[in-house]
């Protein structure tokens, strides 16, 4: 258990350090980079909303199927 927690902490710290290094050495200026990050975040949020709506519709259809009496 302790090894798993240590691994997760190490992976998280490594990921954060990698992200910081990527931002520092990015070929774009700060403003361009912020714009790109904002655009990607908006696209990601829209994709997540679309996937959630699709899944919600699927689950509602399945629930309706389960609620209808079997003949």
The answer, as to whether pTM is greater than 0.85, is no
pLDDT digits (tens, 9 = 90+) for 18-48: 988 887 787 777 788 789 889 999 999 999 9
What is the percent of the chain with per-residue pLDDT over 90, rounded to a whole number? 59
Q: What DSSP assignment string belongs to 7-59?
A: HHHHHHHHHHHHHHHHHHT-SS-HHHHHHHHHHHHHHHHHHHHHHHHHHHHHH
Q: What pLDDT shows up at residue 57? A: 96
């Amino acid at each position: 258990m302790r090894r798993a927690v240590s691994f997760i902490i190490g992976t998280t710290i490594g990921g954060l350090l990698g992200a910081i290094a990527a931002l520092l050495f990015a070929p774009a200026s700060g403003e361009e980079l912020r714009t790109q990050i904002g655009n990607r975040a908006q696209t990601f949020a829209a994709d997540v909303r679309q996937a959630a709506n699709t899944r919600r519709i699927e689950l509602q259809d399945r629930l309706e199927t389960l609620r209808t009496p079997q003949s």
